Chain A
């Protein structure tokens, strides 16, 4: 492959005015944002202004701190929205279509499109599976059939955009077989199934609170609601029925329970106490319930909670922007606990669409103000799916222990894996959570040398680049080099190359280190190993 024949890549034609205008933006940004020429690729050259109710509440804080925020570029938004909403990389064609679309409301249209994609349910089922600890094996030991049933219910719920109050109620009050009634596994997916253990899981899941910070009375009070959760085996191996068992407490049932917020509740003998708890939890005036979920979704999309950490809510850990939290809660409750409404609200805000370029020495102070979009390494599952999509390859996922063996069809992406026990050294290496605690910080997206060795130099990645059908299609010798370069950039980074980048690629091809197709493979390899690919930005 030779890159010596170059026509004017679209990026080149589009990039020139941006580069010229960039220096003007210095003045506009008031010097608040350190600009370098490269930044023009990633952010727009106009000052961001508040446009939605969310923005008004955020930008007030930015103004008070003399921060002039900048918008992300269309290319950055495209990639960010795909990765954040559906955990999937746009294809080269999708990127091209979006970037060339002249319409002014294309960001809004893209958000609508993404919220209706099937991958939305796959990706958010994965995120929820972390919280709900959906895993066949140690330490929660759901068993493969039950993990599958649980995940199926979860994915279907998200796909149907089930209202969040109903979602929570089904998790809390279902009865039946772990193999047949997915949500009963809520009460099984925890190492400690004592009433106190369940109370702790409930507090963490639905209130974002850590019961180990509570007094013993508070834990015991909440545990009373779960003191009659019964488990019984059936004649099918590892099948277990979860049900309301009023006799479980052997003649001395708890008569009183204590709700978070210290309200006492009398438990009538003729009603499943879990129902009483669900009534309280999902009542429209229960701010604890709505605060937890809106804060979680905000944190998932913006990399940080309004209350931070999102699963460590307590009186002495206040929200950084209380009015913003209240606004999101009101929006959720008034719209019937419609989660997609919340995604739409957040993703359409200018706040979500801010640039990630920000002065390094001010990052920490500006983080609770949401002055920029923070860089985060891709989730392990998202990363391998992206590499497979770029190259046109698949990974085989299996789990040999415990029986029955689990084999996942080859076309299934990693984000759609139903069970955290599925063996994969890649996912392990890149920080897939063990799903032991359900805490968000169990997923660690931090670069390590071993990860880098794998990406830079493993046969796993090298084979994908060398043999993937998409790579063969892109690097078909009948095509022009400029088309190949453009396709690789659009496939991997979801943007056009700049003229400067194209020149460097041509120089590399001319150097003769890698000949023919290998030069194109090396370009794809390079971009896959670049920060721009590896980080959400």
Chain B
């Protein structure tokens, strides 16, 4: 099914191809057919774009020009699912996740592809849309009465900063980036946990500030200053209250912390689990260090994949052990994959370039079945062989599992007609339907 179809064609013709996927005549996204089970989402974003053929869609028969030094694949605890050899821990958890191997959008620019993968909207339209995390912050956070002190959309640890993730939804839907390093002796979350300031001094400074805030006294009832006072109070509730303990990873069992991996990514995963446990609707882990391996590809993969493998596998196991996997969607991918054919020419000298034609996504929990493969790429991992999955399909599935109506109108400051996902009659948007086969 290499030929791409527009969503309109898919709807009109009832043509959805393989894997028993029949959605004829049904609005693909507007009316979720699934029961909403997901309360939270953990997004693991592999910035720069991770190779699919070296990892979750191995093509070991494609020859050295494609595989380079990675010649082995490994079996998993699910018959028929095989992974690249750098993922021994994920291989033991394959019953908990599914792999989407027909992910495609054919966009090879970092910012535009990242935007597409996290908003579902085609870049270059008049509006710049908010990403899925900001929409969760709005709909599963504020509109659902979320009252936690931790902001509803948390990013571990650094923001992507490549596009405005909150879009027109405004500052309250912006991701709260923790900063700091969860693998350090103390996870110093920027603004929450300060170095060398005792609680006594915190309290004294707060009183001091109150007594010297002369202008506030001169402007009684001013709404701008009232908003500032409210923000200050909320900030102190977190700084001085118990809510911040969610970031205290020292409360966790040392052996479990070892399993996650004593590195920033591993401890990011642990922090994400604690945040979800505390009720935060959306957590994004931006993988510390990029996957944009134009050069030095194989060394980077050898260095980073074991950490990714360990952290992600332990996260799935830990969520499952605590009964949280049923209510927590975990999804992991980059903005695109990488060219299946290795570029041996200088200056790349064995690198892989951007590749949006086909790549892989790992999805788990929150109503996604485990142990499944959705779609496939061709023999060399260069094109979709069957069951393409477009960004709206992937995001639409996550929204459906969370009970978010993708046709819902988003608040826009100029009153523009902005929906969670693009409407089905947008000709620039391709779709092959949400992932009902694994939901």
Interface residues of B in 205-254 (CB under 8 A from A): 205, 208-209, 211-225, 227-228, 230-232, 234-236, 238-239
Interface centre among A439, A444, A498 (most CB of B within 10 A): A444
What is the 8 Å Cβ interface bit string for chain A, positions 508-530, against chain B (1 contact, 0 not)?
10010110001000110111011
In the complex, what distance in Å separates the CA atom of A526 from the CA atom of B215? 13
Give the nearest-CB partner of A521 in chain B. B205
Contact B126 A192 (CB under 8 A): yes
Q: Which residues of B contact A34 (CB under 8 A)?
A: 220
Stretch binding the partner chain, chosen from B190-198, B317-325, B382-390, B391-399: B190-198
Contact A363 B236 (CB under 8 A): no
Interface centre among A357, A447, A448, A453 (most CB of B within 10 A): A453
Contact B195 A459 (CB under 8 A): yes
Interface residues of A in 264-298 (CB under 8 A from B): none
Instruction: Assign chain A's interface to a size class.
Output: 35 or more
The residue that B125 contacts in the complex, of A192, A421, A505, A526, with Cβ under 8 A, is A192
Contact A428 B159 (CB under 8 A): yes
Q: Which residues of A contact B221 (CB under 8 A)?
A: 359-361
Q: Which residues of B contact A38 (CB under 8 A)?
A: 214-215, 217-218
B326 at interface by CB-CB < 8 Å: no
The residue that B227 contacts in the complex, of A363, A424, A447, A511, with Cβ under 8 A, is A447
Give the nearest-CB partner of A433 in chain B. B164
Contact A531 B188 (CB under 8 A): no
Q: State whether A139 and B205 are in contact (beta carbons under 8 Å apart), knowing that A38-B218, A449-B238 are contacts in the complex.
A: no
Q: Which residues of A contact B124 (CB under 8 A)?
A: 139, 191-192
Give the nearest-CB partner of A38 in chain B. B218
B295 at interface by CB-CB < 8 Å: no
What is the 8 Å Cβ interface bit string for chain B, positions 158-184, against chain A (1 contact, 0 not)?
110111100100111010110100000
Q: State whether A526 and B212 are in contact (beta carbons under 8 Å apart), knowing that A423-B161, A447-B227 are contacts in the complex.
A: yes
Q: State whether A425 and B212 are in contact (beta carbons under 8 Å apart), knowing that A36-B217, A357-B219, A436-B128 are contacts in the complex.
A: no
Q: Which residues of A contact B179 (CB under 8 A)?
A: 425, 458-459
A221 at interface by CB-CB < 8 Å: no
The residue that A449 contacts in the complex, of B123, B162, B211, B231, with Cβ under 8 A, is B231
A353 at interface by CB-CB < 8 Å: no
Contact B215 A449 (CB under 8 A): no
In the complex, what distance in Å separates the CA atom of A511 from the CA atom of B211? 14
Contact A458 B162 (CB under 8 A): no
Contact A514 B201 (CB under 8 A): yes
Q: State whether A451 and B201 are in contact (beta carbons under 8 Å apart), knowing that A42-B215, A363-B223 are contacts in the complex.
A: no
B260 at interface by CB-CB < 8 Å: no
A454 at interface by CB-CB < 8 Å: yes
In the complex, what distance in Å separates the CA atom of A454 from the CA atom of B231? 11
In the complex, what distance in Å separates the CA atom of A38 from the CA atom of B214? 7
Stretch binding the partner chain, chosen from B34-42, B60-68, B108-116, B266-274: B108-116
Q: State whether A535 and B161 are in contact (beta carbons under 8 Å apart), knowing that A38-B218, A357-B219, A527-B212 are contacts in the complex.
A: no
A460 at interface by CB-CB < 8 Å: yes
Contact A137 B224 (CB under 8 A): no
Interface centre among A377, A450, A514, A529 (most CB of B within 10 A): A450
Q: Which residues of B contact A376 (CB under 8 A)?
A: 224
What is the 8 Å Cβ interface bit string for chain B, positions 376-419, against chain A (1 contact, 0 not)?
00000000000000000000000000000000000001101000
Contact B204 A453 (CB under 8 A): no
Q: Which residues of A contact B163 (CB under 8 A)?
A: 137-139, 434
Interface residues of A in 340-377 (CB under 8 A from B): 356-357, 359-361, 363, 374-377
In the complex, what distance in Å separates the CA atom of A360 from the CA atom of B227? 13
Q: Which residues of A contact B212 (CB under 8 A)?
A: 501, 504-505, 526-527, 530
Q: State whether A138 and B234 are in contact (beta carbons under 8 Å apart), knowing that A436-B128, A457-B192 are contacts in the complex.
A: no
Contact A401 B217 (CB under 8 A): no
A188 at interface by CB-CB < 8 Å: no
Interface centre among B164, B177, B220, B221 (most CB of A within 10 A): B164
Q: Which residues of A contact B209 (CB under 8 A)?
A: 526, 529-530
B69 at interface by CB-CB < 8 Å: no
Give the nearest-CB partner of A530 in chain B. B213
Contact B191 A535 (CB under 8 A): no
Contact A360 B191 (CB under 8 A): no
In the complex, what distance in Å separates the CA atom of A357 from the CA atom of B220? 9
Give the nearest-CB partner of A514 in chain B. B201
The residue that B215 contacts in the complex, of A451, A518, A537, with Cβ under 8 A, is A537
Q: Which residues of B contact A455 (CB under 8 A)?
A: 191
Give the nearest-CB partner of B226 in chain A. A360
The residue that A453 contacts in the complex, of B197, B216, B238, with Cβ under 8 A, is B238
Contact B218 A450 (CB under 8 A): no
Contact A449 B234 (CB under 8 A): yes
Give the nearest-CB partner of A495 in chain B. B214
Q: State whether A425 and B174 are in contact (beta carbons under 8 Å apart), knowing that A38-B217, A513-B204 are contacts in the complex.
A: no
For residue B324, give the distance in angstroms from its CB to the closest CB of chain A.
26
For residue A359, give the distance in angstroms from its CB to the closest CB of chain B.
8
Contact A457 B225 (CB under 8 A): no
Contact B220 A457 (CB under 8 A): no
Q: Which residues of B contact A458 (CB under 8 A)?
A: 179, 190-191, 194
A402 at interface by CB-CB < 8 Å: yes
Q: Which residues of A contact B192 (CB under 8 A)?
A: 453, 457
Contact A141 B111 (CB under 8 A): yes
Interface residues of B in 25-80 (CB under 8 A from A): none
Q: State whether A137 and B111 are in contact (beta carbons under 8 Å apart), knowing that A453-B235, A459-B195, A531-B225 are contacts in the complex.
A: yes
A534 at interface by CB-CB < 8 Å: yes
In the complex, what distance in Å separates the CA atom of A38 from the CA atom of B208? 17
25 A-B pairs with C-beta separation under 8 A: A36-B218, A138-B111, A138-B163, A141-B111, A191-B128, A375-B219, A425-B179, A428-B159, A428-B161, A428-B164, A434-B164, A447-B231, A447-B232, A448-B231, A449-B235, A452-B191, A452-B235, A459-B194, A462-B196, A498-B214, A505-B212, A508-B208, A518-B201, A525-B205, A529-B232
Identify the A interface with B (CB < 8 A): 34, 36, 38-39, 41-42, 137-139, 141, 191-192, 197, 210, 212, 356-357, 359-361, 363, 374-377, 401-402, 421, 423-425, 428-429, 431, 434, 436-437, 439, 441, 444, 446-460, 462, 498, 501, 504-505, 508, 511, 513-514, 518, 522-523, 525-527, 529-532, 534-535, 537
Identify the B interface with A (CB < 8 A): 110-112, 115, 123-126, 128, 151, 158-159, 161-164, 167, 170-172, 174, 176-177, 179, 188, 190-197, 200-202, 204-205, 208-209, 211-225, 227-228, 230-232, 234-236, 238-239, 413-414, 416
Q: A212-B414, A448-B231, A449-B235 are in contact. List 16 more A-B contacts (CB 8 A).
A: A38-B214, A137-B162, A192-B124, A356-B219, A360-B219, A375-B225, A421-B162, A444-B171, A446-B227, A449-B231, A456-B236, A457-B192, A459-B194, A462-B194, A526-B205, A531-B215
